[in-house]
Amino acid sequence: MTLRITIDIFSGRPNPVVTVDGHEAKDLLERLAAPRKPAAASPPRRPTGTLGYRGLIIEQVDSKRDRKFPRAFRVAAGHLYGVDVSRPVADSSVEDFVCGSTGPIRFAPGGPRLSEYCLEEIRRFHHVIRHYHWRHHRHPHRIHCHCAPLYEPQWWNDGGPIQWSNNCYNYASDYRSDTFAQPGLAAGAEYQQLQCPDVRNGAIADQLILAPKKNKCPKEGHLVALVVAPNSDFHWYRKGRNGYWSHKPGGTPVTNVDNSGNPIPDPRTADRGGYTDFCSFMIVMHGHIKLR
């Protein structure tokens, strides 16, 4: 039996993926089994597009699968979510186990720093679950930014190859490369460190233009914003025609709310989770950039 575990945590970078088999796979499935005592309450609703940790995606990748589990499912906040199933798991701390220093995450590149970051983000995610605002927001229809792309989430949110192969940088730039684009890669100047200057310079190499520190629509092109979770990941937002911002956290759906479920009039004041460093506003000139 072999399990592939994707830690759904990054927005700009590809997520960490590890594989376990044999006794480790069996132990993990035992932790993920249904609890002996049925749950009294229904599983919590999961925000579908937040920054930071969003759960574990677990896939049974060989023919010796355990049929008590779906072939692929997600584990988040101590609950299992799959096709036609949502329930608690026997070990409510299983996510801490997977991301702990002795858990399967030890096989992923990144070492102790990745483990520490994941554990910190799991705690943050549990806070999001408790405090996320599920109310529906009406954004104004007045056009503020004539050159900005339309907010058309359905074009990106196909639940398949488009959604999973394009990240925040693709969405912010309105450039579908299907490669989970990395700043500077197409120009041979990919960032080397996950800090504002490096990621910003990679974007400049891709022909994005540094903008003044003002949340103001340009006369040509559209406005985007770069933020960083220091030494861990980067994330991009883009400003829409109505003056509000939207974004696409990694392979998750496009959304126009922040980590608290609120609209985003300015990414500098939005709830960005662990993406604490606001780097800069930049301008995307349509037809001038190339991402890879």
Together in a domain, 15 and 126:
yes
Determine, yes or no, domain membership for 275: yes
Together in a domain, 74 and 159:
no
Average pLDDT over residues 260-276: 96
Together in a domain, 58 and 166:
no
Residue 84: which pLDDT band, with cuts at 50, 70 and 90? confident
Average pLDDT over residues 27-32: 97
Determine, yes or no, domain membership for 113: yes
Average pLDDT over residues 30-56: 85
Report pTM.
0.93
85: tokens are: 């199933």
* Low-confidence winner among 35-44, 55-64, 209-218, 234-243 (lowest mean pLDDT): 35-44
* Tens digits of residue pLDDT in 98-121: 999 999 999 999 889 999 999 999
Together in a domain, 122 and 7:
yes
Determine, yes or no, domain membership for 143: no
pLDDT, residue 89, reads 96
* Tens digits of residue pLDDT in 130-160: 777 766 666 666 778 989 999 999 999 999 9
pLDDT, residue 49, reads 82
Together in a domain, 211 and 268:
yes
Domain containing 39 equals: 2-131
Work out how many domains the chain is built from and give that number.
2
Determine, yes or no, domain membership for 141: no
* Tens digits of residue pLDDT in 217-227: 999 999 999 99
Determine, yes or no, domain membership for 148: no
Determine, yes or no, domain membership for 239: yes
7: tokens are: 């830690």
Residue 283: which pLDDT band, with cuts at 50, 70 and 90? very high
Together in a domain, 125 and 231:
no
Give the end of a domain, one of 80, 97, 131. 131
Together in a domain, 79 and 49:
yes
DSSP letters for the chain: -EEEEEEE--SSSPPPEEEEEHHHHHHHHHHHSPPSSPPSSPPPPPPSS-SS--EEEEEE-SSS--TTS-SEEEEETTEEEETTEEEE-S-TTHHHHHHSTTSGGGGSTTHHHHHHHHHHHHHHHHHHHHH------------S-TTSPP--GGGT--SSHHHHH--HHHHHHT---SS---TTTTTT---SSSSHHHHHHHHHHTT-EE--SS----SSSEEEEEEEETTTEEEEEEE-TTS-EEE--TTSPPBSB-TTS-B-S-TTTS--TT--EEEEEEEEPTTS----
